[in-house]
Structure 1
C-alpha cells in the first residue's frame, strides 16, 4: 500500500483507473490540465450582508457638514439642510442638530417668503420679503461661522417643526 495521498484519489487524472472526463463539445475549448469539475470543492462562504451601518463622522467632518448646511440654506433654501440631515443624521450628533436647526430656519423663511408674496399686493409684503432675505443671509453666516468653530447655534426665531 502506498502513502502518497494522490495515489488514493480516483479523481486524479494521472492515476490508473481514474474517471476520464467527457470529451469537449464541438468547437469548445478543452479545460486546462488539472481542472476539477464544478462542485469538487466546497463553495466559498457567503459574503457578509450589507449591514447599512455607516461609520461615525470625525469632529472636523461634522463641523464641515454643519457649516455646509447653514451656507447651503443661504444659497438654495431648505434643500441642502434637508439632504444633509437625511444623510448624516445617524453619523454624528453635532451635524444632526445643526442641520436640523438650519432646516427649521429655512422652513420658517419659506413660510415668510410665501406670506410676503401673498401680501405684496398691499405693499407690506415687500418689506417682509426684504426682511426675510436679510435674515437668511445674516443669520446664516453667523450660524455657519459658529458651526465651523464647533459651537452649536440656535437661530433667534425659527419654528421647530423638525424635531
Structure 2
C-alpha cells in the first residue's frame, strides 16, 4: 500500500537523509547549488546579469515533479541566489543615488557578499551530495 505524496512530511532542515536518497538525486541536488557558480562565470564574462539564478531555476523546473530532494535543494539555491542578487542591486542603487559616494560602503560589502556567496554555495553543494537538506542563512524564501 503506498502513501499519498501530500501526506509525506519532509525531514527537518539539516537532517542527514543520504541513505534514503538515490545517488542520482543527490548529484542533481548538488548541481542545483553549483550551477550558480557557472552563472557567476557567465555574469563576469559576458555581463549576463542574473545568470546565477538560471541554473537552479532550470533544474527546479525540470526536476520538481520527479525528484523531491532535488526540487527542495534547487528551490533553496534559487532563493539564495535571488537574495544575493537583490542585495547587490540595492548596493548598486545606493551607489547611483549618492553619485558614487556610496561605493565607499558598497565595494567592501560586495566583497563580503561575494566571498560569503562562494563559500555557502560550495558548502551547500557538498551537503546536498551527502544527502543533507541544506538551508542557507540570510536567504529570503521567495519561492515556496
The reply to whether TM is greater than 0.5 is yes
Aligned counterpart for 1:146 among listed residues 118, 127, 130: 127
Residues 89, 95 of structure 1: 8 Å contact kept: yes
Alignment of 1:1-163 (within 5 A): 59-76=22-39, 77-120=52-95, 121=100, 122=102, 123-163=104-144
Structure 2: give runs of 5+ residues left out of the alignment.
Answer: 1-20, 40-51
> In 1, Cα distance between the equivalents of 2:28 and 2:37?
14
RCO (CA 8 Å, sep 6+): is it higher in 1 or 2?
2
Judging by fraction of residues, say which structure has more helix.
2
> In 1, Cα distance between the equivalents of 2:75 and 2:32?
9
Structure of greater Rg: 1
How many aligned positions are there?
106
Residues 67, 147 of structure 1: 8 Å contact kept: yes
Residues 62, 92 of structure 1: 8 Å contact kept: yes
SS in 1 for 2:119: helix
> In 2, Cα distance between the equivalents of 1:105 and 1:99?
10
Q: TM-score, normalised by structure 1?
A: 0.62
Q: TM-score, normalised by structure 2?
A: 0.70
**Distance apart, 1:131 and its partner CA:** 1.7
> In 1, Cα distance between the equivalents of 2:109 and 2:58?
27
